[in-house]
Structure 1
Amino acid sequence: MFTGLIEEMGTMRRIDRQGQAMVLTVAAKRILEDVAIGDSIAVNGVCLTVVAYDEASIQLDVMPETFRQTNLRRLHIGDRVNLERAMAGKSRFGGHIVQGHVDGTGTVTARKPEENAVVFTIAPDDPGLLRYVIPRGSITLDGISLTVIRVTETQLAVSIIPHTLAQTILQTKQPGDTVNIEYDVLGKYVERLLGFGAGERAGAAGADAARSARGGLTAQFLADNGF
């Protein structure tokens, strides 16, 4: 598990690609302090496993599913990437629950300064996933834990402070660039559990229909289930 607080920016040193499988070699410093084979490292918000390392870099495997679902497939040698080690048991929990399991990508549609901040507007490739987003809720963009300031049916917006902009690859992002998006896991689990509740009443085959007909969590739903 991660917190969404970026520890450093690494640099892509080498990309070995075979079809939709890749081995990434990333030059880094801080995360090498205690690295070991098998460690989990978030690269632009994607949880990857360290398969080799030396005094200046780490190597990580990228499987085809990760290739398809994230923007790692767009990386080039020399690109900067956000890096975070898995959370240690005694660490402060400074961000929010980040799994490193990217739900999909989105496109930066606007970047506008607002006094000491910069507001980024993001259009997810699958706008249906915006059902997991609420204003003032948490979201992960390229591995960064951020607070949503606005959400519509097709886009969301976040406000970036100068420190975050300086310490992450958001400093280079412009309209048209892509970001990895991981939505808050709590909302996904709630939706899944409510779906199973519908299945128990209507049969597994009718779960989706029952959920759709219910129209979400309502007072009647709570009453029917003993709340």
Structure 2
Amino acid sequence: MFTGIIEEVGFVESIQRSGNKSFIRIKARKVLEDVKLGDSIAVNGVCLTVTDHGDAFFQADVMNETLSRSSLGSLHSGSPVDLERAMSAGGRFGGHIVSGHIDGTGTVTDIKNDGIAVWYTIAAKPELMRYIVEKGSVAVDGISLTVAKVTDCSFSVSVIPHTASQTVLGSKKAGDTVNLENDIIAKYVEKLMKPESRIGGVSMELLAKNGFV
């Protein structure tokens, strides 16, 4: 599990494609401080498993499914990437629950300065927008952000200078693709509200019967 608080920006050293998977090698420093084979590191919000590492790099396998559902397929040598290690048991929970299993991608449609903040507007498909609510949380390239505005086909976030400078958001421009992970709680709530849920579904009647209404 991750929290969406980026630890550092790394850089793609190389990508090797072979058959139905790829091997990505990333230059990094901070996330390597206690790295071990098999550890999880989120790369632009995508949870990857460390298969090799050295003093200044780590390598991970990337399956075709991951490449097709994320923006990792568009990375190249020199691309900056957001990096976060999996949360330790004693770590601070600074963002929100991020699984590292992205739901899809969005497109940056507008970037606008507003005083010290920068507004990013991101367009996304309806199946992603249904879980995005004003003042809710969303992970954009692995960054835990608060949704400031929502329309039928896009949402906006207001980013402080520190966040922009310490993540890949600062290098984004209109037209760029970003990885999106919806708030996992919203997806579980929706599942429980469906009549075909294994526990019979959650309804207003059930809530009232148990004293919640």
Pair 1:20–1:159, CA change in 2 (3 A): farther
| 1:27 aligned residue | 27
After the TM superposition, which residues 2-17 of structure 1 pair with which residues of structure 2 at under 5 Å, given as runs? 2-17=2-17
| 1:82 aligned residue | 82
Partners of 1:137 and 1:32 in 2: CA distance: 32
Partners of 1:37 and 1:97 in 2: CA distance: 24
SS in 2 for 1:148: strand
Q: Tell whether the 8 Å contact from 1:127 to 1:154 is kept in structure 2 after alignment.
A: yes
Residue-by-residue CA offset, 1:181-200 (whole Å, 9 max, x unaligned)? 000000000111112xx126
Partners of 1:56 and 1:224 in 2: CA distance: 55
Partners of 1:128 and 1:25 in 2: CA distance: 32
Instruction: Quote how far apart the aligned CAs of 1:66 are.
Output: 0.6
Pair 1:135–1:14, CA change in 2 (3 A): same
SS in 2 for 1:132: coil
| 1:101 aligned residue | 101
Partners of 1:21 and 1:66 in 2: CA distance: 9
| 2:136 aligned residue | 137
Partners of 1:223 and 1:39 in 2: CA distance: 45
Instruction: Quote how far apart the aligned CAs of 1:81 are.
Output: 0.3
Partners of 2:127 and 2:32 in 1: CA distance: 38
Instruction: Quote how far apart the aligned CAs of 1:111 are.
Output: 0.2
| 1:147 aligned residue | 146
Do structure 1's residue 199 and structure 2's residue 193 form an aligned pair?
A: no
Computing the radius of gyration from Cα coordinates, the structure with the larger value is 1
| 1:184 aligned residue | 183
Instruction: Quote how far apart the aligned CAs of 1:18 are.
Output: 2.2
- Name whichever structure is richer in helix by fraction: 1
Instruction: Quote how far apart the aligned CAs of 1:20 are.
Output: 4.7
Q: Which runs of 5+ in 2 are unaligned?
A: none
Pair 1:11–1:224, CA change in 2 (3 A): closer
Pair 1:200–1:145, CA change in 2 (3 A): closer
Q: Superposition RMSD on alpha carbons, in Å?
A: 1.7
Q: How many residues align?
A: 208
Do structure 1's residue 128 and structure 2's residue 127 form an aligned pair?
A: yes
Taking only the aligned residue pairs, the percentage that are identical comes to: 51
Partners of 1:28 and 1:73 in 2: CA distance: 20
SS in 2 for 1:190: helix
TM-score (ref. length: structure 2): 0.93
| 1:119 aligned residue | 119
Q: Tell whether the 8 Å contact from 2:191 to 2:197 is kept in structure 1 after alignment.
A: no
Q: Tell whether the 8 Å contact from 1:22 to 1:63 is kept in structure 2 after alignment.
A: yes
Q: Tell whether the 8 Å contact from 2:148 to 2:158 is kept in structure 1 after alignment.
A: yes
Residue type of the alignment partner of 1:109: T
